[in-house]
Amino acid sequence: MVSSAMLLGAFPILPIRADAAGEQYEFENGTIVNSGENDAEISALKGASGGRTVDLKDGGKLSNPKASAQTQSLYSFLCDTYGNHVISGQQESTWMGSEDYEFDIIRNASGKYPALRGLDYMGDDFSGCNRRAKKWYEKGGIVTICWRCGSDFSGSHTEAMNTDLNWNAALTQGTAEYNKLIAGMDKGAKALKELQEAGIPVVWRPFHEFDGKWFWWGKGGAENFKKLWKIMYDRYTNYWGLDNLIWSLGYCGDVNSGWYPGDEYVDIIGSDTYVNHTESLVQMYNKTKQVSGKPVCLHENGPIPDPEKMKSDGAGWLWFMTWHTSFIDSNEFNTASYLKRVYNSDYMLTLDELPDVYHYGSSASYENTDPVFEISSPVGIKGDINGDGEVNVADAVLLQKYIMGVRDITIADWKAGDIIEDQVIDSFDLIELRKLLISKPEKTQPEHIDTPVSSYKFDPAKKYSEYGQNYKNSIPQAGTIVKESYNGINGINSLNVYLPYGYDKNKKYNIFYFMHGMGDNENSLFYNDNGETQRLFDNMIKNGDIEPMIIVTPTFNKVSADTFFNAENFYKEFRENVVPFVEGKYSTYAASNSAADIKASRMHRAYGGFSMGSVSTWAVFENCVDIVGYFMPMSGAHHWGTGNADAGALARAVDKAGLKKDEYYIMSATGTSDFAYPVLGPQIEAMKKLPQFEYTSDFSKGNLWFILANDGQHSWYYVRQYLYNCLPFFFRK
């Protein structure tokens, strides 16, 4: 067996294939037995790299630089698949007695399901479409949505064919026609927003077959169509902030020239046709491909092109999507036997063959332009294969299994695995990782942190106040938001990291973790209200209200399916996964991400949250006060939703940690019209009576304060005000 020490020795790691732990597999010239999480017996193997490689060059970037990590991940998968395989797709119907009518036909014929499901918002079926989209997403499938409707964005196919616009008026801002157009578009945006909030990327395919001119959106000609497309793109992307869309531009079979809106508005191009054969459609493919360098799909079809003909002719369609009902249940070409052959072709990708496409690639790199955010690429650690913030033997074992082709083995960050930076992951990276482990220094005792005595003059009775317009403005000294993925208790999870302007990895920074509420996610703090919270932080730092600090927004949504349970129990993932990951990667007062160093740096770490995030904050106080020094619970009480607030439990947590009263601080807030006030207010009153808490906002003399906003409500507006009021009191000790 290969022990930790043996992994640090010299051996060839050049396997051809392995599938699961605990079984023996034959290789060209040797065997490998994988019999545990970190053990493997290896003999000499033959080959150059002998395993799966990952090309890092062709991931592709979406037209929307602010796309969510999951959306960029899906697009990276699509770009990597393009030219190598064809994704199987099927448009649904909803009126044949089963919402899975076409999919059951395919399953019964082939034993497979298509990977991509086509839906249609026609007839204002927003709730039904979204429900089915969520179900398909939960199966691991890819969702694409079109919208057949009239020029008022109501009705269905008939209205799409028989209505038109007063184009000059409709495309001129300020006119009644323009306002009506925008109001209609916004119906779709609201539906897509629901999917965004559920974390579901969508291949958005509006205004299809535009150049055929039979639908209203093409009747105004090429120039008007391009204006229409750009209006929707801008409205959905910049006004609604829809970061979950992959924009698919669907030509008709003629692929007429002059209709292309531009690369900055399109992610995928496609064409469609309904023919009476199963040829590859290579001529249409080549014509579509000439439009742009974007991936090319067959966005609708009748008979499915023969996979072998597509491969031999070089018709590299990214996917096909067969139309519904008679095109699948009684078509003379799409017979049961043909469906079986197509769906079982090695060239086709079906639902069961998809990887985790939503955690497939690295997240997008973002550029900051008001009113949205700059999001930079994660600062990865070479060799940190499992994304836990450390480089150790576990990473070597994971990398070895990945190169061997073991199923269900994933790498949190591809670039972390490409250690020698040759754009592939292979055995040479494993050799280099071995060198990193050999040279890794021994761990030292936790560093004692001397915190300077602050001269800050505290307000002993801080009252609620609101910030002015100058705190809402964008400034050149803007911070950067980084999207990160890490291994949590239940698999890959996401968080955002705000790095202050001028972030320097050679400096030490205080760190503030902030948790969202029910129905929100890790993006909510920075993305709500056109990014005002980020601008607030930028201006507070610039104006000297707070020192430059790192701000992290994790999510409790993956702990379980129960929001109340999640908020109460996220502290486990916070302690075991989040803090070690973040503070192993970014420069904080923690000398390392060891438990001892994290504990030693607790007075430079804060945790806060809103609503159920406040519940999470109280739970972190009760269970992690030994690693956190400052707390900011907003509009949510201890055990809210699962039981009654217990001030005594919070006091006992302090005693258990052996802390003095000047070693933990709580600045809480809510509003008099907030529905959380009747439960949070009494909890604070109970805490005031306990000897562990001294009630004053002069944190040189006490450790507990409660800010109350007159008529303040349960909203993100007040969250920002509370941050403005409370955060300057932190990290002053």
Catalytic (active-site) positions: 209, 300
Cα separation of 361 and 515, whole Å? 25
Cα separation of 441 and 243, whole Å? 42
Cα separation of 15 and 25, whole Å? 10
Cα separation of 588 and 547, whole Å? 13
Element (H, E) at 656: helix 647-657
- DSSP-based helix, strand, coil % in the chain, nearest 5: 35, 15, 50
Cα separation of 425 and 385, whole Å? 11
**Backbone torsion region of residue 199, taken as left when φ is above 0, otherwise alpha when ψ lies between -120 and 50, otherwise beta:** left
DSSP string for 252-270: -TT--TT----GGG-SEEE
With contact defined as beta carbons under 8 Å apart, do 475 and 542 qualify? yes
Closest among 582, 577, 622 to 604, alpha carbons compared: 582
Cα separation of 226 and 265, whole Å? 10
User: How far is residue 235 from each of residues 185, 232, 242, measured CA to CA in Å?
Assistant: 8, 5, 9
The bridge status of strand 86-87 relative to strand 296-301 is unpaired
The burial of 724, by beta-carbon neighbours within 10 Å (0-12 exposed, 13-18 middle, 19 or more buried), is given as buried
With contact defined as beta carbons under 8 Å apart, do 226 and 193 qualify? no
Q: Which amino acid appears at position 443 of this protein?
A: K
Outline where 314-386 has alpha helix (H): 326-329, 336-343
Cα separation of 77 and 448, whole Å? 46
User: How far is residue 366 from each of residues 143, 245, 313, 363, measured CA to CA in Å?
Assistant: 24, 16, 38, 9
- Rounded to the nearest 5 degrees, what angle is found at the Cα of 624, between the Cα atoms of 714 and 726? 40
**C-alpha 122: how far from its chain's center?**
28
Structure tokens at 696: 């004053």
The bridge status of strand 348-349 relative to strand 375-376 is unpaired
Tell me how crowded residue 672 is: count the other CB atoms within 10 A of its CB.
12
- Rounded to the nearest 5 degrees, what angle is found at the Cα of 562, between the Cα atoms of 556 and 565? 70
Which of the 8 DSSP states describes residue 114? B
Structure tokens at 328: 């699948």
Q: What are phi and psi of 385, to 5 degrees?
A: -65, -40
Closest among 630, 489, 482 to 546, alpha carbons compared: 630
